[in-house]
Chain A
């Protein structure tokens, strides 16, 4: 279903835009009235954006996600309206204006986001000094001091309006901090190294342990993404129920119930796997009570190997 009047039909097709976005496609066109409404609501003209530039920004964001619809699906004007109303179009216009170097947009950006960004950096790093350094470094990058292949590279160009600009800035800061921490942690010397005590001889038979390891791998790998996230965040990352609840947008009690239910299901599934392997119920329960140190199962490695196909494809590409 094609819109009655579209930005793509008004613009000349095939003209590359300045943002590197793909050319306008007739079947991915914008509703003209909706574009006018968004143009007025977000005051894009105040940031130095022309109407055509604004329409092109909207079209790039919509085309990259196909209006939130599956690929090859055409969006109706209502679906387009729903999609853009779910976006932070004003933040998107401001980010693009800053990326283009508009002074007024930068003044507004600094006035509105500088203090929150500094506070977020301090909260993320847990240090006043590290936080301010982290924020200043990100500011330098946002201002386009990094030049790659003769062009200013502004991270704001990667913002496409999904979620708030401030949330994007916080997440970017967190990424920088985590990457820096992971990088520097490997360089830290080990101050003390205690030789581990020799492992005691395993009490469980090696066959039963191998069956248990296989059952754990099959059970954990087959769990749903949310359950695996809860298990990993709680047992591997040591996050609290409240932190996980805030990320998932649910109540803390809900996280607790889901986590408890996941543990019960995993135990139940492991017992079933062991019984399918020819073990009796008591023997399976006894095997489940084996010392974890006797197992050769690395849950972290197991979870790392069970990445979603989407990101595996992304990594491969």
Chain B
């Protein structure tokens, strides 16, 4: 045995340490183990040294303390990337939603852009007197009003509007003869696209834009429409409720439209536009444009420019509006009819002369040969000259009111109504 001893016959510290670390040979290990079997002191030494080593190892393997080390600036700002990424993700999501929202309104624009030809091409059945109401195919800008109309109203669109879709595109979408209602709506929308804007659109026009350029709100980039996103979202809910109601009414009114239009109606003849895809009702959503007649024998139907109606006296939203020249007829949600002779500046309520609840008012063109019960004090030009007693041919243009039972009344001045 070569191990030296510090205390006589005990193995030295190196032998005990090497034994604990399994660093001894077989022979030396056996000698040390034999000694440990009989020496309590060395067993205690080995046990204490081994325990201290295990404690040190446990401390060394413990997770080290995080020291503050100088790091690069991008590492110091690494936590900023998290909110930045969230903000970018939110922005992208918002843009996607808005684009999708804009696409949802896109069909109206596309229809309006792709159907300029039917509106510009007068139907074969149009009377010669109605020809001037047609819009020229290339008229991105509405046709200038006639000289006599220019006396009453300024030019509607001082700035050019986007050009409509080429005729080739419109030719791919022929009108459907079996769906007069749809055709009428399309024509109204096309007219709205090509004609000067109605009072409702003029009212919605931003201050910086002329009233006639409001039609570009359907074709302007989606980013511009986002500015009114919050307002439209709130109004959209109300419009959805009214839309469902008006769909029912339109469905009921379809036979009536067909009844009065056995022959194809001239372009722009259907002057009533429901609020199916129109802006909210609170802002006068019924937006149809009145074509500028080439010649107007009756000043009632003379279009002198966009109207700017004020809110109805009842304070309720209008569900249907019809206009004829300076005249405006509006039905509020309660079914009350209001008449304005100054393009919506002032309103007066029309006494109820119909049954049920008025739900729609529209401007209709005349039907040749059709007669109607002449009012007591007709204001029409030909009333009373009919050989049939109590019946008179309908005037060239008149207002038609429908109640919730799909019954109609007609009026030439908007004040006196006669059952049709």
Contacts and interface: CB of A to CB of B under 8 A. Distances in A.
A40 interface: no
A137 to B, nearest CB: 15
B30 interface: yes
A315 B35 contact: no
A300 B41 CA distance: 12
B17 A178 contact: no
Contacts of A4: none
A121 B51 CA distance: 11
Contacts of A300: 40
Nearest to B36: A229
Given A120-B53, A232-B38, A246-B50, A168 B14 contact: yes
Interface stretch (A21-29, A155-163, A198-206): A155-163
A182 B41 contact: yes
Interface stretch (B4-12, B70-78, B291-299, B324-332): B4-12
Interface in B55-73: 55-56, 59
A121 B52 CA distance: 8
A239 interface: yes
Contacts of B14: 158-160, 162-163, 168, 171
Contacts of B6: 175
B38 A308 contact: yes
The A interface, classified by DSSP as helix, strand, loop or mixed, is: helix
Interface string B22-62: 11110100110111111111011111111111111001000
A307 B37 CA distance: 8
Interface in A198-234: 225-229, 231-233
Given A168-B14, A171-B46, A247-B46, A237 B53 contact: no
A171 B59 contact: no
Contacts of B39: 304, 307
A7 to B, nearest CB: 21
B361 interface: no
Range of interface residues on chain B? 35 or more
Given A124-B48, A225-B30, A225-B37, A162 B55 contact: no
B48 A229 contact: no
A116 interface: yes
Contacts of A179: 7, 41
Given A229-B36, A232-B38, A314-B3, A167 B47 contact: no
A314 B5 contact: yes
Contacts of A228: 34, 37-38
Interface string A132-169: 00000000000000000000000000111011101110
A123 interface: yes
Contacts, number: 175
A171 B14 CA distance: 8
Contacts of B48: 124, 174, 177-178
A231 B36 CA distance: 11
B227 interface: no
Contacts of A247: 19-20, 36, 46-47, 50
Interface string A114-133: 00100111011000000000
A101 interface: no
A190 interface: no
B142 to A, nearest CB: 93
Interface string A36-69: 0000000000000000000000000000110010
B55 A119 contact: yes
For the residues of B in contact with A, the DSSP-based class is helix
B17 A164 contact: yes
B37 A232 contact: yes
A298 interface: no
A171 B44 contact: no
B17 A171 contact: yes
B38 A171 contact: no
Contacts of B19: 247
A255 to B, nearest CB: 13
B37 A229 contact: yes
A123 B46 CA distance: 13
A178 B38 contact: no
Contacts of B7: 175, 179
Interface string B204-234: 0000000000000000000000000000000
Contacts of A110: none
Contact of A123 (B18, B30, B44, B56): B56
Nearest to A237: B43
Given A225-B33, A307-B39, A170 B47 contact: no
A278 interface: no
Contacts of A123: 51-52, 55-56
A314 to B, nearest CB: 5
Contacts of A159: 14
A179 B56 CA distance: 23
Given A225-B37, A236-B40, A303-B37, A249 B5 contact: no
A247 to B, nearest CB: 5
B52 A120 contact: yes
A164 B59 CA distance: 18
A243 interface: yes
Contact of B49 (A170, A227, A231, A313): A170
Contact of B45 (A86, A178, A232, A246): A178
Given A163-B14, A247-B47, A310-B31, 9 more contacts: A124-B49, A170-B52, A226-B33, A237-B40, A237-B44, A237-B47, A243-B51, A303-B38, A311-B1
Interface of A: 64-65, 68, 70, 86, 116, 119-121, 123-124, 158-160, 162-164, 166-168, 170-175, 177-179, 182, 225-229, 231-233, 236-237, 239, 243, 246-247, 249, 300, 303-308, 310-315
Closest 3 CB pairs of A and B: A315-B9, A310-B1, A228-B37
